[in-house]
Structure 1
């Protein structure tokens, strides 16, 4: 049965949800407070990476976070503040930083990431998208024996989960990247990973949706939700009142603010990430993560992108140039010939990633509202999980069997 569906949020999750919902014959409207040309879906590293099977909430991360709290250049910066939602999130995050949680979460992350890769390729083929997409794998580059040992252990976990991964020596790294000097003692190579240029896919997906009957309301903010008998009856924006059979909450870091209106306290913190685009350094052909610096290097279509840091400091788009410089310094440290101009650093952008306490997204229905489907909390993996999340949202709303078990993504799960 065709339904009238409103999606709050026009990032990768919202667009992919709209794609599969309109394929099922539903009438779809997307409402977004931006112009749909910026944010986390546009400034991410472009990875579709099953290799990232370990959630952010892993053993030792909270200890590192406390240590790094006093270092504005650190890969993870958590700004302490007296905010009840932040304190609840921090408590739940700390509880999730266990080996048992990682063991439970890793196969769940693998399954949704592998499915997303398959669906991304399927969409490109079916819709004849020309967006840049390559299957060159991902290098994890190390400069210390301690980090190399950690990365090799990760390879063991990945191989046990059926992923194509191996350790690589400096000589093997040079064979993979023969045209640029790399300062490393070795690393790992995840052949299972793919990469893309995000803004190209986003642009083509928006064009496809517009041409196939999806309505867009941009620069329009959802301000209130009217509830009756556990159903959303009206959605009020700063411009109009909308009515729908089903609502999808895919508003990223803003999702928790709207969820409170439903009596649903989604634990989400905004994790700011930065990116620098450079037209230099065209010799790099394989994406890499600089392990000690937690910085990503991605050769995109016509430019190279540096992306990194996780700054949990509330919802804001302030650019901290100290952190931008730290990303640039990391690139130069691993690639001695790497060049970035001052203008490129001045043009650095940021995006806010919605971070759940346990590193798993919220996907599915809550008992608090019958006609609401939640799709948020993907942290750094929104791009990597986007297409699969969209499919799952469509299957939930269409009352179909879901492609993956949703238990691990339950919005009502306890921490």
Structure 2
């Protein structure tokens, strides 16, 4: 049965949900508080990364996070604050940082990222979209012996779960990237990864959806949600009221705030990330991560992007100059031939990523609201899991068997 569906949130998750819902014959509308031209879906690294199969919540992360808490330029910065939601999230995150949780999460993350990668590829072919999609793999560049040993272990584990990965010699690296000068000790290479230019995909998708009859209501903020007998009857924005059969909550870092209006206890924190672009001829043709600095490097269509940091400090878009400098300095440290100028640093942008305590997204229905499907909490993997999440949302609302088991993503799960 075709339904009328309202999606709250027009980022990558919202647009992909709209696409697959439309393909199922549903009438779809998207409401977003922005103009749909900025945010995490536009400033991310564009990675489609099965290689990122380890959850953010892992042994040692909390301990390292505490050490970095006093360094505002560190790759992971958790700002301490007396806030009940933050404290609950912190306790749940710490509880999730176990080897048992990591082992359980690895096949889950692998499967959703592989599905998403394939769906992006199919989407481009099926709709004749023009967005950049290249499968050139991902390099993990290491400056220390200790980090290289850790990355080799991850590559070994990747092969055990069916992903193509290995250590790569500096000689072979030079063959792959002949026009780049490196300051590293060694590297690993994940041939299983792909990358995109996010802005291009978002533009293609918005154009397609608008041409297919999907309605967009931009610069509208949801102010209230009416619930009756476990079902949403209407949502109210700063402009008008809306009714529908089904609703999708894909509002990123704002999802928990809206969830409270439905008595949902979605533990989420906003994780701020930064990006800088350069039009310099960097010679970089293969995406990379600067392992010690946790900086992502992406050769996008016409420019190179450097992105990094996870700053958990509440919902804000403030730019921390120290963190910007840390990314720029890391780039020159690993690539001695590249120096980002002041204009490029001044043009930095930030985006907020919704981070769940266990590193797994929330996808599916909550028992507290029967006609709401939740799709948020993807942290740094929102882009890499975007198309698969949209497909799963569509399958839930269409009452179809889902492509993946949704139990690990249950929005009602406890920590």
Normalized against structure 2, the TM-score is what?
A: 1.00
Tell me, in whole angstroms, the C-alpha distance in 1 between the residues paired with 2:287 and 2:16.
24
1:236-247 to structure 2, matched below 5 A, reads 236-247=236-247
Does residue 314 of the first structure (1) align with residue 299 of the second (2)? no
Tell me, in whole angstroms, the C-alpha distance in 2 between the residues paired with 1:72 and 1:85.
22
Tell me, in whole angstroms, the C-alpha distance in 1 between the residues paired with 2:281 and 2:295.
16
Give the structure 2 partner of residue 249 of structure 1. Answer: 249
1:15-414 to structure 2, matched below 5 A, reads 15-414=15-414
Contact 1:281 1:339 in 2 (8 A): no
Tell me, in whole angstroms, the C-alpha distance in 1 between the residues paired with 2:400 and 2:298.
37
Contact 1:40 1:352 in 2 (8 A): yes
Aligned residues: 415
Contact 1:55 1:359 in 2 (8 A): yes
Q: Secondary structure at the match of 1:413?
A: coil
Give the structure 1 partner of residue 3 of structure 2. Answer: 3
Q: CA deviation at 1:332?
A: 0.2
Q: Secondary structure at the match of 1:19?
A: helix
Q: CA deviation at 1:339?
A: 2.1
Tell me, in whole angstroms, the C-alpha distance in 2 between the residues paired with 1:233 and 1:410.
23
What is the CA deviation profile of residues 39-63 of structure 1, one whole-angstrom value per residue up to 9, with x for unaligned ones?
0000000000000000110100000
Aligned-CA RMSD value:
0.5
Q: Secondary structure at the match of 1:262?
A: coil
Q: CA deviation at 1:180?
A: 1.1
Contact 1:33 1:221 in 2 (8 A): yes
Contact 2:180 2:282 in 1 (8 A): no
Tell me, in whole angstroms, the C-alpha distance in 2 between the residues paired with 1:94 and 1:169.
37
Q: Secondary structure at the match of 2:395?
A: helix
Q: CA deviation at 1:388?
A: 0.3
Q: Secondary structure at the match of 2:53?
A: coil
Q: CA deviation at 1:341?
A: 1.6
Q: CA deviation at 1:132?
A: 0.9
Q: Secondary structure at the match of 1:384?
A: coil
Contact 1:281 1:338 in 2 (8 A): no
Q: CA deviation at 1:282?
A: 3.2
Contact 1:169 1:185 in 2 (8 A): no
Tell me, in whole angstroms, the C-alpha distance in 2 between the residues paired with 1:161 and 1:375.
26
Tell me, in whole angstroms, the C-alpha distance in 1 between the residues paired with 2:83 and 2:281.
43
Tell me, in whole angstroms, the C-alpha distance in 2 between the residues paired with 1:220 and 1:307.
29
| Structure 2 unpaired stretches of 5+ | none
Q: CA deviation at 1:281?
A: 3.6
Q: Secondary structure at the match of 2:273?
A: strand
Normalized against structure 1, the TM-score is what?
A: 1.00
Contact 2:294 2:309 in 1 (8 A): yes
Tell me, in whole angstroms, the C-alpha distance in 1 between the residues paired with 2:289 and 2:280.
18
Contact 2:282 2:338 in 1 (8 A): no
Q: Secondary structure at the match of 1:70?
A: coil
Spell out structure 1 runs of 4+ moving beyond 3 A: none
Tell me, in whole angstroms, the C-alpha distance in 2 between the residues paired with 1:359 and 1:336.
34
What is the CA deviation profile of residues 223-273 of structure 1, one whole-angstrom value per residue up to 9, with x for unaligned ones?
110000000001000000000100000000000000011111100000000
